[in-house]
Amino acid sequence: MRAFSRQVPMMYALVLVNTIALSATHLHSSPPVLTLGFPGLLAVVSLARLVIWWRARKTAIDTAGAERLLRQTMVFAGILGAGFTLWAFSLFPYGDAFAQSHVVFYMAITAIGCVFCLMHMRAAAFLLTGIVVGPITVFLIASGKPVLAAIGFNMALVAVTMLVILLIAYRDFSRLVESRRGLEERQAEIQSLSDDYLRLANLDVLTGLPNRRQFFARLQRVTDAAAASGARFAVGVIDLDGFKPVNDAYGHAVGDKVLVEAGDRLSRDHGQPLFVARLGGDEYGLIIEADLDAQALQALGADLCAALREPYCFPGVTAQVSGSVGFAVYPQAATAPEVLYERADYALYHAKQNVRGAAVVFSADHETAIKASGLIEQALRHADMDAEFHLAFQPLVDIKSERTVGFEALARWTSPTLGVVSPGDFVPVAERSGLIAAMSPVLLSWALKAAATWPDDVRLSFNLSVRDIASPQQIARIVTIIQESGVAPGRIDLEITETAVMRDFDQAARSLATLKALGVRIALDDFGAGYSSLSYVHRLPIDKLKIDGSFMRGLQAADKRRAIVKTILDLCRNLGLDCVVEGVEAPEQLVLLQPLGCRVVQGFLFARPMPLEAVAAYLAAERGEGVALRSAG
């Protein structure tokens, strides 16, 4: 359309100039109406059309406007073509042979020029040729003069040749237009696909939130900008507490709805500029581009956790989860984006371990703890198991018979560089680093060697880690160690935590089934702490629940904790499960537990963890025997 809008004004200019020239040569030989009046009227119309098309060159014309202009051009091509042809015929009788030749030349050359200007509008070009060239050709051939007839014949031949060339040019032009249109469509399709790929590469398909890739790309940009401007911002990591039980109990469809709803709640207006992304699973990332102190971040975290804590109501299902959040502030916590994220993730880990369902801001104390964990990990990697580790054994006591029914084997470590390291410090480090996979088989072998010297009615309890039950190879190794130990599998209790089960429920179920088939008993440790799910109790081959020792702290007769303990004890009786209450340290606690039907307890009230050498004397004193140990040989 733009090219056509440049050619049409040229056509009208050509017509005006040629018309003025023809009028001038007939000015003294023809009536004024033919040299001034009629051509003047045609010239005014032509000039008006020229102005319209001239303005159209610089005006954005939509499809409807373009179609209107083209229709008008078609109409005026017919009207003006007929008008100028009629005028030329009216001039032909006047003047001498030269003037008549000018008329013929005017019609021929003007028609040729107009046709070429209208080459992009084939219908108008053909119409104009028919209106102008057709009549003049017939007129000249019919004049009876050989010269004029020859001119008419030549004009017809030129017109036909010109129209053929026009058809060929129009066909090539149409192909070019179609090719360009196809290319543009392909480019648009490619751009659309590129946009889709870019969207899919940067958005989480389930929630529609930015994904992990976009989160870290934005974190890098924000960090670079903050480094240049000196601004402060914060990074947050949120993990849903209790999502795994919901997913297991109600299925993935409900779990997906919970994830979508949680993302929507986090994306609400919480009074701060939040960039929210789903990092994977039930974990979300936050970037807060604002200068917030620890108190403000705690308030924001409390608001986010409160939003996540609201019930998730779907048709036929109401789910309950909460969230824990860890924050790290730039540049106090770190200046590199990867390290800043790791600091926020550590704060989240601290929140889940200590204040589940709340917010923790990374601080100098956490930095100290990270460095301490690093030192512990390095010491663990170079530790001599035989020289630095040993086992301590804490009795499990039947309070009715007042007899020890078993011992729990507990790892103890004395590092030559760090000194005595608490299990609460080195066990989590060993699990996170994967070193526990090498430690568990060795410690289990030691524990079984000790249990082989005990009376047959004394059981052994041993803790398996997350990595132990998550690995089929590790389970096979544990089975082999038990089979080669000489200790009856029925005397062995293998303890697991709910965290170990939540990581990979299906693999955990397969691992426990393998151990159960061997004949060992499975105990669920720390039951009641965090988000205990009854689905694990009935879906896994559990034989025993160990009630978490936190319920014993400050236990009172009218306390809610006592009611919870009673409920768990009743549950065990109804399901035919054994139950152990951990953390019993005072006689008052025992007095409160006895009426509840508690049978087996464990805690400092009876004995602290003791070395293997002390077990013999302990059992001997309890049973009034001289020697309680059997020969290990």
Q: Which of 362, 394, 426 is the last residue of a domain?
A: 362
CA distance 4 to 12: 13
Global pTM reads: 0.63
- For residues 413 and 306, state if they share a domain: no
CA distance 383 to 367: 24
Query: What distance in Å separates the CA atoms of residue 287 and residue 302, rounded to the nearest whole number?
Result: 16
Q: Kindly report whether the peptide bond that precedes residue 331 is cis, defined as omega within 30 degrees of 0.
A: yes
How many angstroms separate the CA atoms of 447 and 390, rounded? 10
Is 370 among the domain residues?
no
Q: Do the domain assignments include residue 631?
A: no
Q: Are 291 and 339 part of one and the same domain?
A: yes
Q: Note whether 569 and 442 are same-domain residues.
A: yes
Strand partners, 459: 406
Q: In b/e form, how buried is each residue of 147-162, taking b as 16+ CB within 10 angstroms?
A: ebeebbeebbeebeeb
Is residue 633, in this structure, part of any structural domain at all?
no
For Cα atoms 242, 246, 249, give the angle at the middle one, nearest 5 degrees. Answer: 140
Q: What is the CA radius of gyration of the chain?
A: 47
Which residue pairs from 208-214 have beta carbons closer than 8 angstroms and sit at least 24 positions apart in sequence? 208/260, 208/263, 209/263, 209/267, 209/276, 209/277, 209/278, 209/284, 210/275, 210/276, 210/277, 210/278, 211/277, 211/278, 211/279, 212/277, 212/278, 212/279, 212/280, 212/285, 214/277
- Asked if 488 and 448 count as a contact pair (C-beta separation under 8 A), the reply is no
Is 196 marked active-site?
no
The β-bridge partners of 414 are 420
Same domain membership, residue 218 and residue 167: no
The predicted pLDDT at position 627 comes to 38
Q: Where is the domain boundary, 310, 327, 362?
A: 362
Contacts of 110 (CB under 8 A, 6+ apart): 14, 15, 18, 84, 132
Residue 31 carries which DSSP code?
-
Provide the pLDDT for residue 626. Answer: 40
Q: Which CB contacts under 8 angstroms, 24+ apart, belong to 554-560?
A: 555/588, 555/589, 555/592, 556/592, 557/592
* Cα separation, 439 vs 386, whole angstroms: 11
Q: What is the pLDDT of residue 532?
A: 58
Do 447 and 588 share a domain, yes or no?
yes
CA–CA separation, 139 and 144 (whole Å): 10
Per the rule left: phi > 0, alpha: psi between -120 and 50, beta: everything else, 240 is: beta
Pairing relationship of beta strands 389-398 and 610-611 according to DSSP bridges? antiparallel
**What angle, 0 to 180 degrees and rounded to 10, lies between the N-to-C axes of helices 122-141 and 63-91?**
10
Which domain does 39 fall in, by range? 2-182
Residues 335 and 388 in one domain: no
Of residues 248, 282, 525, 526, which has the active-site annotation?
Answer: 282
Residue 573 lies in a domain: yes
Question: Dmax over Cα atoms in the chain, in whole Å?
Answer: 156
Q: Which CATH number does the domain housing residue 552 bear?
A: 3.20.20.450
For the chain, the first-to-last Cα distance in angstroms comes to 104
- The position carrying tokens 């017919």 is 78
Instruction: Give the residue carrying structure tokens 């072998």.
Output: 445
**What are the residues facing 233 on neighbouring strands?**
330
Whose CA is closest to 324, among 295, 345, 343?
345
Q: State whether residue 73 is helix, strand or coil.
A: helix
Q: Based on the domain organization, do 61 and 165 belong to the same domain?
A: yes
Say if 206 falls within a structural domain: no
Reduce the DSSP state of residue 319 to 3 states and report it: strand
Q: How many residues are recorded in the chain?
A: 633
**Are 334 and 473 part of one and the same domain?**
no
- What is the rounded distance in angstroms from the CA atom of residue 139 to the CA atom of residue 159? 15
Same domain, 126 and 149: yes
- Domain containing 217 — which CATH number? 3.30.70.270
Residue of 74, 63, 57, 68 whose CA lies nearest to 9:
57
Whole-number Å distance between alpha carbons of 491 and 525: 17
Same domain, 380 and 357: no
Helix (H) or strand (E) holding 369: helix 364-381
Closest CA to 530 of 235, 321, 372, 343: 321
Based on the structure, what is the number of domains in the chain? Answer: 3
pLDDT of residue 531: 56
Separation between Cα atoms, residue 173 and residue 177, nearest integer Å? 6
Residues 6+ apart with CB under 8 A from 513: 541
User: Are 54 and 145 within one domain?
Assistant: yes
Residues 419 and 357 in one domain: no
Pick from 362, 388, 404: which residue ends a domain?
A: 362
Does 243 reside within a domain? yes
pLDDT value of position 631? 36
Q: Is 171 among the domain residues? A: yes
**Cα separation, 236 vs 347, whole angstroms:** 9
Residue 84: predicted pLDDT: 87
Spatial CA neighbour of 53 closest among 68, 63, 38, 40: 68
In angstroms, the CA 348 to CA 342 distance is 10
Single-letter amino acid code for the residue at 430: A
Q: How far is CA 449 from CA 38, 387, 442, 477, 612, in A?
A: 126, 17, 11, 16, 10
Residue 393 bridge partners (DSSP) = 409, 610
What residues are paired with 578 via a beta bridge? 544
| Kind and range of the H or E run holding 360 | strand 359-361
- 322 domain residue, yes or no: yes
Tell me the mean pLDDT per 10 residues along the chain, length 633: 72 88 88 90 89 77 74 84 87 85 86 80 80 84 83 84 81 81 86 78 90 95 96 96 85 94 92 92 95 94 95 92 96 95 95 90 93 94 95 96 95 96 94 93 98 96 94 96 96 90 83 96 85 71 91 75 90 93 92 91 94 94 58 36
